[in-house]
Amino acid sequence: MPLKILHTADWQIGKPFASTPDPDKRQRLQQERLRSIERIGELATSESADIVLVAGDLFDSPSPTKATVSATFHAIGKIPAPVIAIPGNHDFGGPGGPWNQEFVQKEARALAPNFQILTEAVPLVLDTAVILPAPLQHRQNLSDPTAWIRTAFDESSIPSDHPRIVLAHGSVQGFSSSGDEDDAQDSNLIDLPKLPLDEIDYIALGDWHGTKQVAEKAWYAGTPEIDRFPKGNDNRPGHVLIATIARGKSPTVKTIPTSKLQWHQLAIRFDGESDLAQLEQQFAETVGTGADGVLLQLELSGGLTISESLHLRELLETWESRLVRLKLRDTVVEMPSDDEIAQLTERRSDPLISRVATRLVEQAAGSDEQAAAARLALRELYQLTLRHQPACA
């Protein structure tokens, strides 16, 4: 009878999201990762999964807080299937890692009796399958963690009729999380071609945060909750895999989206009068109001007049409030229009402002720090004149 597994990885529960400055929004990002475990439990039920496999990095660090540990195992305990995991590079299995900590072991036993962490490279023989784990003992392992599997089938203790599943965490054949991880290095390398692939029915991988098939029987599940802005079309995070496996047959794999947070990117260059309206339209089409769990990476360039720039600042202030995160790269050059220059420099009732504005306009034409400071001063002067305009009769 075919075995159905739910393959997931890289939960990284407890991820700090330090680049998000608002503490309430950081907490929202962290809580959504915990909620992804609940969604995995719901899928395990709806898909009738026999086993849930977590291919490493269940925790984000080797020292999760006690509150994080308890909340995680409380969520795992509600999953209606056995949950089997291995240590990854973030939550490695050797000294200093979380799996040797008494509190972690105690909470796992008390809250998640359906959970098992495989910290040793030995076969786990179940009634329905054989799990061949390749746990990482250190954050950076220089040897192939799957090397022992090359000779594992020489032993008669592995049933010949059970589906065989490799559970591993690392990089394969030059395809890695380099660029995904800030401190990624050439370690935790898995040599897939050296595995006895005819003896294996499925290879459940973790480490790469996108969903990807890397060989006929080998898949990265990716992280179930997106945790960073997209890096190319080949990166497809925010899924779990449902793999149907039978001994000696190719697996069938279904990809199911699980992410709730939305990570978007927009880029616009200002070079015309309609550009601000275009930006507002693109924002509405891409993220709606922005108030429903959205993170946006926004790149702005080109030039705007002072009044346009002031309107842009109002938009950005609103979006900053609504979005979970606004990651802004702003290289827009602000230069006054002819009408704005005339309004500042041709003030017969304010000759001092006229002289100052004329000087600032001359200085603002450059591209150095002095020019940038002059443009900022022009904006402040323009706002000052707006506030002190006489009321209409």
Strand spans (E) along 179-228: 189-190, 202-206, 212-215, 218-220
Global pTM value: 0.86
Instruction: Specify which residues 252 forms β-bridges with.
Output: 244
Count the helix, strand and coil residues of the chain and give each as a percent rounded to the nearest 5: 35, 25, 45
Dihedral pair phi/psi, residue 126, rounded to 5°: -105, 175
Predicted pLDDT at 305:
85
- Number of C-alpha atoms within 13 angstroms, CB side, residue 104? 18
- H/E segment holding residue 301: strand 294-304
Predicted pLDDT at 174:
58
Predicted pLDDT at 35:
97
The closest alpha carbon to 340, from 387, 376, 307, 312, belongs to: 307
Low pLDDT (below 70) residues in the chain: 174-186, 232-233, 272-274, 386-393
286 three-class SS = helix
Distance CA 309, CA 315 (A): 10
* Residue 121 near residue 133, CB atoms below 8 Å: yes
Sheet with 124-125, edge to edge strand ranges: 124-125, 130-134, 164-169, 202-206, 218-220, 212-215
Strand spans (E) along 159-201: 164-169, 171-172, 189-190
Q: Read out DSSP for 235-266? A: ---SEEEEEEE-TTS--EEEEEE---SEEEEE
Distance CA 222, CA 55 (A): 9
Predicted pLDDT at 354:
78
The closest alpha carbon to 62, from 101, 26, 31, belongs to: 101
Q: What is the pLDDT of residues 319-371, one digit of tens each?
A: 999 999 999 999 888 877 777 777 777 777 777 777 887 887 778 777 778 87
Q: What is the pLDDT of residues 133-168, one digit of tens each?
A: 999 999 998 899 999 999 998 877 888 899 999 999
Predicted pLDDT at 186:
66
Other CB atoms within 10 Å distance of the CB of residue 111:
19
Q: How far apart are the first and last CA of the chain?
A: 87
Distance CA 354, CA 348 (A): 8
Instruction: Specify which residues 162 forms β-bridges with.
Output: none
Pairing mode of beta strands 51-54, 202-206: unpaired
387 three-class SS = helix
